[in-house]
């Protein structure tokens, strides 16, 4: 398997782990500061990546430019990006907020085009558009419950839309930064550095941005979530970093955004979701888009 093929596979696996982790993090965010949930994720992952770097004799030397990209990456996700998304979800509901924020693969691909002059082929562009539209359809087909925007004041809805768009820009910046820096550094060293940055800045910005909720997870909640922290925080983070660094950005970003689609079969099996035409159309678009991207 070539590095590009392995990167494509890892991008997909990153979606699988995020599909398993997102429900846990959303539940915890009702009790704890979002930034401190990410602090806990980093606290679990940091020693693991340090040990993996030592075990593989990875170089600890990180040049200035990759370090800047890794710092930008963590600010756009763990430190600020995920928090902005949660603020949007509080105003719009998770389905609507995700539908807007999940457009980030398009933005990341545009960033590459403008900075490098390398643009997608017509088939790749059609595939990427199919993936994004399909993910949005799947998300919007979910039951909104308390997130129904019709019951929200217009000013709150407007703020929620603006925050979701900002989250999309931040997530796109993260994907772009990882894709630019990851190839020059061992993925274990890169993630040790990234998690170290999160450990320093997540508590600081949790206080500065006045996030609501408790600072630290209780022992009981930590034990319940530990398996997810290990699987998503270590395995998913490695898969995302390697995937975005070695697969074409359009492919990697699209595949890493499939968590809502991947979580749907689980929800149908457990009867937490009902079958609908919109979901079916969305899944067909996603599968078709992925085929066009990968085969191109």
Instruction: Give the model confidence (pLDDT) of 15-41 as tens digits.
Output: 889 878 877 887 888 899 999 999 999
Q: What sections of 56-186 are H helices per DSSP? A: 64-74, 81-92, 94-101, 104-116, 122-140, 154-181
Q: If you ran DSSP here, which 8-state letter would residue 103 be given? A: T
Q: Report the sign of the C-alpha dihedral through residues 63, 64, 67, 69, in that order.
A: negative
Q: Is residue 18 part of a domain?
A: yes
Q: Is residue 242 part of a domain?
A: yes
224 Cβ contact list (under 8 Å, min separation 6)? none
Q: Is residue 260 part of a domain?
A: no
Q: What pLDDT score was predicted for residue 29?
A: 85
Number of domains in the chain: 1
Q: What pLDDT score was predicted for residue 118?
A: 72
Q: Is residue 288 part of a domain?
A: no
Q: Is residue 265 part of a domain?
A: no
Q: What pLDDT score was predicted for residue 56?
A: 94
How far is C-alpha 279 from the geometric centre of its chain's CA atoms?
A: 21
Q: What pLDDT score was predicted for residue 146?
A: 41
CA pair distance 278, 272, nearest whole angstrom = 16
Low-confidence stretches of the chain (pLDDT beneath 70): 94-95, 138-139, 141-152, 260-276, 294-296
Q: What is the span of the domain harbouring residue 231?
A: 3-120+143-247
Q: What pLDDT score was predicted for residue 102?
A: 77
3-class secondary-structure state, position 214: strand
CB of 253 closer than 8 Å to CB of 244: yes
pTM over 0.85: no
Q: Is residue 104 part of a domain?
A: yes
Q: For residue 15, what are the CA distances in angstroms to 111, 174, 230?
A: 22, 15, 15
Exposed e or buried b for every residue in 274-296, given b needs 16+ CB within 10 A? eeeeebeebbebbeebbebbbeb
Beta partners for residue 214, in sequence order: 32
Q: Is residue 291 part of a domain?
A: no
Q: What pLDDT score was predicted for residue 50?
A: 97
Q: Is residue 13 part of a domain?
A: yes
């Amino acid at each position: 398997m070539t590095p590009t093929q392995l990167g494509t596979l890892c991008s997909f696996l990153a979606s699988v782990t995020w599909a398993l982790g997102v429900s846990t993090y959303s539940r915890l965010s009702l009790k704890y500061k979002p930034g401190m949930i990410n602090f806990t994720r980093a606290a679990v992952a940091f020693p693991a990546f340090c040990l993996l770097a030592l075990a593989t004799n990875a170089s600890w030397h990180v040049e200035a430019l990759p370090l800047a990209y890794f710092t930008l990456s963590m600010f756009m996700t763990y430190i600020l990006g995920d928090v902005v998304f949660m603020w949007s979800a509080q105003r719009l509901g998770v389905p609507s907020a995700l539908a807007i924020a999940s457009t980030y693969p398009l933005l990341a691909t545009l960033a590459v085009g403008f900075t490098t002059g390398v643009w997608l082929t017509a088939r790749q562009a059609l595939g990427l558009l199919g993936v994004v539209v399909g993910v949005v359809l799947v998300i919007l087909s979910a039951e909104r419950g308390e997130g129904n925007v019709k019951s929200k004041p217009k000013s709150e809805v407007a703020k929620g839309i603006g925050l979701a768009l900002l989250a999309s820009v931040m997530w796109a910046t993260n994907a772009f930064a990882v894709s630019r820096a990851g190839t020059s550094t061992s993925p274990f060293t890169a993630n040790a550095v990234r998690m170290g940055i999160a450990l320093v800045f997540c508590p600081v910005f949790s206080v500065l941005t006045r996030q609501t909720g408790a600072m630290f997870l209780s022992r009981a909640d930590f034990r319940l979530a530990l398996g997810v922290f290990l699987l998503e925080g270590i395995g998913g983070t490695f898969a995302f970093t390697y995937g975005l660094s070695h697969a074409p950005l359009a492919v990697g970003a699209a595949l890493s955004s499939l968590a809502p689609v991947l979580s749907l079969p689980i929800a149908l099996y457990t009867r937490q979701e009902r079958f609908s035409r919109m979901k079916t159309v969305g899944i067909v678009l996603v599968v078709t888009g992925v085929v066009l991207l990968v085969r191109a």
